[in-house]
Amino acid sequence: MPSITIYHNGECSKCRGALEIMQERGIPHNIRWYLAEPLDKNELITLLKKLGIPPSALVRKSESIYKENFEGKEITEDEWLVILVQNPILIERPIVEKGDKALIARPSERVFEILNT
């Protein structure tokens, strides 16, 4: 069974919910505290491929840093990639990764979709 990684922000209720689901069911997993240990550009590119989305689709538009610095601006996908690496708080969460697949577990129950693959 491929290992499961949850890209986790302890301040996020959806992250805590997804983690709780895995813990309650005794599902082995790794936790990547992506704010304390940010993804580098290559890791983010790999994760985006597994998610099947462009960088702009991973942006949390509710964050104040987005509203203050990026909202309404013309930003390319390559630029978003750099922005997300430099500002990991803008990465949508939680992301659950298993093998060559990943998903954004919003709502937290979406974690079951990846557990069943």
DSSP character at residue 16:
H
Give the Cα separation of 61 and 21 in Å (integer): 26
Q: From the candidates 2, 9, 12, 73, give the one annotated as an active-site residue.
A: 12
DSSP character at residue 19:
H
Phi and psi for 101 in degrees, rounded to 5? Answer: -125, 155
15 catalytically annotated? no
Would you name the residues annotated as active-site residues?
A: 12
